[in-house]
């Protein structure tokens, strides 16, 4: 038997495993970096080798998220009031509003922050216009201004000329306040009072615009005379 040849063949068999171990020891960090990069190479169809890792990370993170509990200051968080009018709008699939169609809500805000009151009124008029569009089966367009929507409501006879004109004027006043026009408490109250007829029209529409003959149980407090508030 050729012992020299046998020993040589044995060394050849061990050569690659031994070399691999030596490379692994001496080049551990560079190889780790290269492998990490290779694992992120895109696969056909847009998938990637690290996708499952990300899923696992999300799964593990989800297990650490505590169950939902109400915040300690829950009562301080503003909420849309469940007024009779808001309940009516929700039942019709319309958007409820922050005042519950009682403009006394904005009058109260105006006592401390007239600009904030008019900003809220601006949002409310926009919401009411969109609700009217839904009720009259008028398509809502993405990024459409409230002024443009009012014009289409007028075209479809959802509102009158005077209502559209009044809404535009109130929106203009609110926009000026939002963009820096100084507004006194009295001026904010006057704008809110002027909007009262629009809100009352919408409240009336919630009654006659549908077939169930709904009626609000109380008279609207939206339109106030200046004398009554002195």
Which tens digit of pLDDT belongs to each residue from 19-75? 555 555 555 555 556 555 555 555 554 445 555 566 566 766 666 655 656 556 555
Bigger pLDDT: 228 vs 85: 85
What pLDDT shows up at residue 111? 95
Maximum C-alpha span of the chain: 125
Residue-averaged pLDDT of the chain: 75
Q: What is the mean pLDDT of residues 94-117?
A: 92
**Is pLDDT of 126 > 50?**
yes
What pLDDT shows up at residue 55? 59
**Is pLDDT of 153 > 90?**
yes
Percent of the chain with pLDDT over 90: 25
What pLDDT shows up at residue 72? 61
Q: Measured in Å, how far apart are the chain's first and last C-alpha atoms?
A: 123
Count of CB atoms within 10 A of residue 13's CB? 9
Report residue 209's pLDDT band, with 50, 70 and 90 as the boundaries.
Answer: confident
Of 16-25, 53-62, 121-130, 177-186, the poorest mean pLDDT is in 16-25
Domain ranges of the chain: 3-62, 83-229
Q: What is the mean pLDDT of residues 84-97?
A: 87
**Is pLDDT of 128 > 50?**
yes
What pLDDT shows up at residue 19? 54
Structure tokens given for 147: 């002024």
Distance CA 149, CA 141 (A): 8
User: May I ask the CATH class of domain 83-229?
Assistant: mainly alpha
**Is pLDDT of 223 > 60?**
no
Phi, psi of 42 (to 5 degrees): -65, 145
Bigger pLDDT: 105 vs 66: 105
pTM recorded for the entire structure: 0.64
Task: Find residue 42's DSSP bridge partners.
Answer: 48
What pLDDT shows up at residue 76? 55
**Is pLDDT of 114 > 80?**
yes
């Amino acid at each position: 038997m050729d012992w020299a040849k046998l020993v040589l063949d044995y060394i050849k068999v061990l050569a690659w495993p031994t070399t691999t171990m030596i490379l692994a020891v001496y080049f551990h960090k560079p190889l780790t970096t290269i492998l990490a990069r290779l694992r992120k190479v895109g696969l056909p169809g847009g998938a990637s080798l690290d996708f499952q890792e990300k899923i696992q990370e999300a799964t593990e993170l989800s297990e650490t998220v505590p169950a939902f509990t109400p915040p300690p200051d829950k009562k301080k968080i503003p909420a849309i009031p469940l007024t009779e009018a808001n309940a009516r709008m929700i039942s019709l699939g319309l958007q409820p509003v922050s005042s519950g169609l009682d403009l006394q809500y904005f009058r109260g805000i105006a006592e401390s922050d007239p600009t904030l009151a008019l900003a809220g009124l601006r949002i409310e008029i926009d919401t009411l216009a969109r609700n009217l569009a839904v009720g009259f089966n008028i398509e809502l367009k993405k990024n459409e201004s409230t002024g443009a929507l009012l014009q289409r409501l007028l075209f479809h006879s959802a509102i009158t000329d005077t209502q559209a004109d009044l809404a535009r004027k109130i929106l203009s006043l609110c926009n000026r306040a939002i963009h820096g026009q100084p507004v006194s408490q009295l001026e904010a109250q006057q704008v809110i009072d002027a909007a009262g007829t629009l809100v009352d029209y919408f409240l009336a529409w919630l009654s006659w615009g549908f077939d169930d003959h709904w009626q609000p149980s109380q008279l609207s407090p939206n339109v106030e005379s200046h004398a009554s508030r002195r």
